[in-house]
Amino acid sequence: MDYQDVVGQVLSAVKPHIGAGQVADYIPDLARVDPNQFGFAIATVDGQVYSDGDVDVPFAIESISKVFALALVLPKRDTKIWDRVRREPSGLAFNDLIQLEVENGIPRNPFINPGAIVTTDQLLADTGDAVAAMRALLRAETGNPHLEVDSVTAESELRTGDRNRAIAYLMASFGNMVNPVDLALDHYFRQCSFSITCAELAKVGLIIARHGLRVDGSRLLEEGDTRHIIALMATCGTYDEAGNFAYRVGLPIKSGVGGGMLAIVPGICSVATWGPGLDPKGNSATGALALETFAQVSGLAVF
What does the binding site for ligand GLN look like in residue numbers (CB under 6 A)? 62-63, 94-95, 113, 157, 164, 192, 256-257, 282
Between β-strands 39-44 and 59-60, what pairing exists: parallel, antiparallel or unpaired? unpaired
The CB-of-111 to ligand GLN minimum distance in angstroms stands at: 9
DSSP state of 85: S
**Nearest-approach distance from CB 211 to ligand GLN, in angstroms:** 26
Please report how close the Cβ of residue 96 comes to ligand GLN at its closest, in angstroms: 11
Shorter beta-carbon distance to ligand GLN: residue 226 or 255: 255
Helix ranges (DSSP H) in the chain? 3-14, 65-73, 81-84, 98-102, 113-127, 130-142, 151-159, 162-173, 181-192, 198-209, 223-236, 242-248, 285-298
Residue number with CB closer to ligand GLN (200 or 269): 200
Judged by CB, which is closer to ligand GLN: 257, or 271? 257
Q: In terms of CB distance, is 54 or 96 closer to ligand GLN?
A: 96
Complex with ligand GLN: residue 193 or 298, whichever CB lies closer: 193
Distance CA 227, CA 66 (A): 16
Q: From the CB of 47, what's the least distance to ligand GLN, in Å?
A: 28
The least distance separating ligand GLN from the CB of residue 1, rounded to whole angstroms, comes to: 31
Query: Residue 280 has what DSSP assignment?
Result: T
CB 4 within 8 Å of CB 280:
no
Query: For residue 34, what are the CA distances in angstroms to 49, 277, 283, 290?
Result: 25, 9, 16, 19
What are the residues facing 219 on neighbouring strands? 213
**Closest approach of Cβ 62 to ligand GLN, in Å?**
3
Determine the residue with CB nearest ligand GLN: 63
Torsion-angle region of residue 163: left (phi > 0), alpha (psi -120 to 50) or beta? alpha
Q: Which is nearer to ligand GLN, 66 or 210 (CB)?
A: 66
